[in-house]
């Protein structure tokens, strides 16, 4: 079996169960992982639907140009459709979008125009307005307008919703997704509620967006609108694809919480996903901890791939600059010594001790490494693995003093150094660390001590 073009591979993405991040939650959490689409995002689905619907009614003709305002992912889907069908593409993006998205669009042959973020939608410089202007001035061009084009919602009603229903064997009770253009959450929700009216739909919004307050009050409050960094979620307009009657509740997620959750999904679940995926999962898990029951099954849609955000949320320097890098609490060297079982007295050997005698001490003490001293100074170190290799090569070394084959002294660290720092200092050349306590006593910290601290 083979496909006639890349666009035939769109859809049928997997559901993957959470195994770590769902700790403490009753019920089952499944992720609908949309980066398995060829353009690595859920937007591939709407791109092909909007293009083919436009072809059918004559809005898009052979040799035409597709022009769209996008946060990047819809542009990628449209670009793939354009490659397969022979169209040109021009995309407008807000300048908050990642450089990776811009580079990817250019790589598949699109022209990219970057517009300012911090202007209202009606401003002629906004990416909405610039896209419309290009459409008005370029002959034989098609402006899909994913925000108000109901083919967007229809794509998910026809594909994503049925997939989720079939994959869960109709057992789904809750659906959660980020809300941007609204097509995904509304299209999927419409289909699921037609199968079972009790399916609960949770919309994930971001601070700086109007959706949550509009759902709760019916008021479009411009005071709610302010710049935010998360891409592909929230809006300062009300797209026609957002059907508020199909969304039971909204929950808001901060840029920081979304970024941290995205990194946790990669590290703890092996799901290397995008920034708004972190929004969707953080919001869904927060809601689920209070509301999900034992027999409930929640599906959380994760729209895109982490490669779009390598220069942002997956870049430690960028995360630190924005105050987003999660702070993990690590044990200190002092904690390790305090929690150690048994004697903490350090065993050392003088530099003139014979190698044979040093081996006996290692065996008697059941230790793998030992500091070497001379005149109360730490002058070297011995490890059993290195001793073994040297004695195999030169057995006569047994009678020589350890000063002849000792390695450099173990490094001293501060009692306040944390586990992450300590682990970075232990390597092939430095098998242990030394630390001096408040009473001026010296203690050794080994790889075993670090592993023990990690597991506690």
Spatial separation of the C-alpha atoms in residues 411 and 413, rounded to whole Å = 7
Annotation says 431 is catalytic: no
Q: In what order do the strands lie in the sheet with 442-446?
A: 411-413, 432-436, 442-446
Coil vs helix vs strand at 360? helix
DSSP 243-304: -GGG--EEEEE-HHHHHHHHHHHHHHH---B-HHHHHHHHHHHHHHHHH--TT-EEEEEE-B
DSSP 146-188: TTT-THHHHHIIIIIHHHHHHHTTT---EEEEE-SSSHHHHHH
DSSP 49-110: HHHHHHHHHTSS-TT-EEEEE-SSHHHHHHHHHHHHHT-EEEEEEETTS-HHHHHHHHHTT-
Spatial separation of the C-alpha atoms in residues 313 and 306, rounded to whole Å = 9
Coil vs helix vs strand at 363? helix
Strand partners, 32: 15, 301
Coil vs helix vs strand at 421? helix
Q: Which of 17, 32, 43, 133 is catalytic?
A: 43
Active-site annotation, residues:
43
């Amino acid at each position: 079996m083979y496909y006639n073009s890349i666009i035939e591979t769109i859809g049928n993405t997997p559901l993957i169960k959470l195994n770590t991040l769902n700790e403490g939650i009753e019920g089952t959490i499944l992720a609908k992982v949309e980066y398995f689409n060829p353009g690595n995002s859920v937007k591939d689905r709407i791109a092909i639907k909007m293009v083919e619907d436009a072809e059918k009614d004559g809005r898009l003709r052979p040799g035409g140009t597709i022009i769209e305002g996008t946060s990047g992912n819809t542009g990628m889907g449209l670009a793939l459709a354009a490659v397969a069908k022979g169209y040109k593409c021009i995309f407008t993006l807000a300048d908050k979008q990642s450089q990776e998205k811009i580079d990817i669009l250019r790589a598949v042959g699109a022209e990219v125009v970057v517009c300012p973020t911090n202007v209202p939608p009606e401003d002629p410089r906004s990416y909405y307005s610039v896209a419309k202007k290009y459409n008005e001035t370029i002959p034989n061009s098609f402006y899909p307008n994913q925000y108000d084009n109901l083919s967007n919602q229809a794509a998910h009603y026809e594909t994503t919703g049925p997939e989720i229903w079939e994959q869960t064997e109709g057992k789904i009770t809750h659906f959660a997704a980020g809300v941007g253009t609204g097509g995904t959450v509304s299209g999927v929700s419409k289909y699921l509620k037609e199968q079972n009216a009790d399916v609960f739909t949770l919309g994930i919004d971001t601070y700086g967006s109007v959706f949550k307050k509009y759902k709760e009050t019916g008021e479009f409050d411009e005071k709610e609108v302010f710049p935010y960094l998360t891409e592909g979620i929230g809006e300062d307009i009300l797209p026609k694809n957002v059907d508020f009657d199909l969304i039971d509740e909204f929950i808001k997620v901060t840029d920081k919480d979304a970024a941290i959750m995205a990194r946790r999904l990669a590290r703890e679940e092996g799901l290397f996903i995008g920034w708004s995926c972190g929004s969707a999962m953080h919001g869904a898990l927060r809601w689920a901890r209070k509301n999900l029951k034992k027999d409930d099954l929640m599906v959380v849609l994760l729209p895109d791939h982490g490669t779009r955000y390598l220069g942002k949320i997956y870049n430690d320097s960028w995360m630190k600059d924005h105050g987003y890098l999660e702070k993990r609490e690590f044990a200190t060297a002092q904690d390790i010594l305090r929690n150690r079982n048994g004697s903490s007295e350090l065993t050392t050997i003088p530099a003139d001790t014979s190698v044979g005698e040093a081996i006996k001490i290692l065996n008697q003490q059941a230790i793998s490494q030992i500091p070497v001293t001379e005149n109360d100074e730490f002058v070297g170190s011995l490890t059993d693995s290195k001793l073994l290799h040297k004695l195999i090569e030169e057995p006569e070394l047994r009678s020589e003093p350890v000063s002849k084959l000792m390695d450099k002294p173990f490094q001293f660290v501060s009692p306040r150094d944390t586990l992450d720092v300590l682990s970075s200092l232990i390597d092939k050349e430095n098998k242990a660390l030394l630390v001096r306590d408040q009473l001026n006593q010296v203690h050794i910290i080994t790889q075993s001590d670090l592993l023990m601290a990690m597991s506690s």
